[in-house]
Amino acid sequence: MINIPKGTKDVLPYDSYKWQFIEKTAREVAKNFGAKEIRTPTFEHTEVFLRGVGQTTDIVNKEMYTFTDKGGRSITLKPEGTAGVARSFVENGMHSGVLPAKLFYLTQCFRYERPQAGRLREFHQFGVEFLGATNPNIDAETILLAKTFLDKVGIKNVTLYLNSIGCKECRAKYKKVLSEYLRSNIDSMCELCKDRLEKNPLRILDCKNENCKKINEKAPVILDYLCDDCKEHFESVQNLLTLAGVEYKINPYIVRGLDYYNKTVFEFVSNNIGAQGTVCGGGRYDGLIAELGGSDVAGIGFAVGIERILMLLENLNVEIPNDSQIEYYVAPMGEKESEKAFEIVSMLRQKGISADLDHMNRGIKAQFKYADKIGAKKVIVIGSDELEKGIFKVKEMSTGSEEFLSIDELVK
């Protein structure tokens, strides 16, 4: 037997309705907010992520599935959705189309991480990217979209953490002060953070190491270093969220693991799925489009991890509606009746009603068992009597109630 690669999962037929429900809800909510779907390739030129996600990130340094293709090009399986969407925005000249471009996607992503509950090497994201608007309205709208999606799929008890990491100017000032503070504590920091100090000191703030956490508690806070413009922007976002009734907690340790962010950053975190509790992460990225060769176009977005959502729903015992059930199972009692069953099933299907029948020459008892297993809502029994009279017994599986109908009545 050949096993599935580490960190990947099959979605089996009896579970796929859960995925369909998440995807359907994502599409509905995105549409409700005026977003249109974008599909970008599974792989991009590696440079898209080097420039997009950033050279100092864990994703680029350690986690990318990168290979040289037969034409000698460096190719990378997308580790996230934003950089590919930004590349497509630039390449397709979307900046001269309708702005803001309100885009969403459902995509698989690939990161070579150490697998654990909620952390996979192939996982799936529902993501939203709004490009072209600098107004704080759109920050609040993006967050509200994420919140609406989480609500609609049945997740209520997540905390929204909000922060602003400022613009290039105020962040540079903050980085200097932060680095000085961290440098004076370097001896007690974990090895990873010692390395981060020069490359990306902000990332130290979300380190989970106990010593680093203690150091971080006393670290200077970015919010004290925001310039007037960033401060005003952040206050507007908060006001709008309050107006929309969205609860949030300001958390200066939310810095996000990707280089493209500026100003607003946010995460929705749950305590119900263990260490990998962030179900959604996002923020503003006003320099990304220019970084990928486009014009000066602002952007903001988020991505939700679908596997984490499903884990959370399971842990919270939220029942996911299953509309993959078949409407009718037609059970013939013999060979002659079998032909009639075939005819009835074909008629039902032609009318757009889902139906199935016996393909295994099962006895009537076994057929009822099978109908139950495949989740048929109703069973139509065909015996010689029914065949003669043209009236069929229709049994409702959930209640056991029966009615007698002709083919015409059935199809109507």
HSE-CB of 111 using CA atoms within 13 angstroms: 24
What are the φ/ψ torsions at residue 101 (nearest 5 degrees)? -80, 120
Q: From the CB of 308, what's the least distance to ligand HAM, in Å?
A: 4
Helix (H) or strand (E) holding 32: helix 16-32
Closer CB to ligand HAM, residue 145 or residue 379? Answer: 145
Q: From the CB of 258, what's the least distance to ligand HAM, in Å?
A: 6
Q: From the CB of 203, what's the least distance to ligand HAM, in Å?
A: 13
Please classify residue 281 by burial: count the beta carbons closer than 10 Å to its beta carbon, then call 0-12 exposed, 13-18 middle and 19+ buried: buried
Closer CB to ligand HAM, residue 118 or residue 132? Answer: 118
Question: Residue 12 CA to chain centroid, in angstroms?
Answer: 18
Question: Residue 288 CA to chain centroid, in angstroms?
Answer: 21
Residue linked to tokens 């990707």: 258
Q: From the CB of 268, what's the least distance to ligand HAM, in Å?
A: 8
Closer CB to ligand HAM, residue 141 or residue 307? Answer: 307
Tokens in use for 97?
């189309």
Closer CB to ligand HAM, residue 110 or residue 370? Answer: 110
DSSP 303: E
Q: From the CB of 64, what's the least distance to ligand HAM, in Å?
A: 12
Contact (CB, 8 A) for 393 and 380: yes
Contact (CB, 8 A) for 301 and 128: yes
- The amino acid occupying position 84 is G
Q: From the CB of 301, what's the least distance to ligand HAM, in Å?
A: 3
Tokens in use for 225?
């270093």
Residues 314 and 331: their CA atoms lie apart, in Å, by: 35
**Which residues are near ligand HAM by CB under 6 A?**
80-82, 111, 113, 118-120, 123, 125, 127, 129, 257-258, 278-283, 301-303, 305, 307-308
Rg (CA), the chain: 27
Tokens in use for 196?
């981060």
- The amino acid occupying position 376 is A
Q: From the CB of 252, what's the least distance to ligand HAM, in Å?
A: 18
134: left (phi over 0), alpha (psi -120 to 50) or beta: alpha
Q: From the CB of 269, what's the least distance to ligand HAM, in Å?
A: 9
Pairing relationship of beta strands 402-406 and 391-396 according to DSSP bridges = antiparallel
Closer CB to ligand HAM, residue 120 or residue 204? Answer: 120
Closer CB to ligand HAM, residue 99 or residue 347? Answer: 99
Contact (CB, 8 A) for 330 and 341: yes
Closer CB to ligand HAM, residue 158 or residue 379? Answer: 158
Q: Which residue is nearest to ligand HAM, using beta carbons? A: 305
Q: From the CB of 10, what's the least distance to ligand HAM, in Å?
A: 15
Closer CB to ligand HAM, residue 286 or residue 307? Answer: 307
Closer CB to ligand HAM, residue 106 or residue 303? Answer: 303
Cis ω for the linkage preceding 321 (within 30 of 0): no
Closer CB to ligand HAM, residue 279 or residue 344? Answer: 279
Question: What Å distances lie between residue 33 and 267, 286, 304, CA to CA?
Answer: 20, 21, 16
Q: From the CB of 123, what's the least distance to ligand HAM, in Å?
A: 3
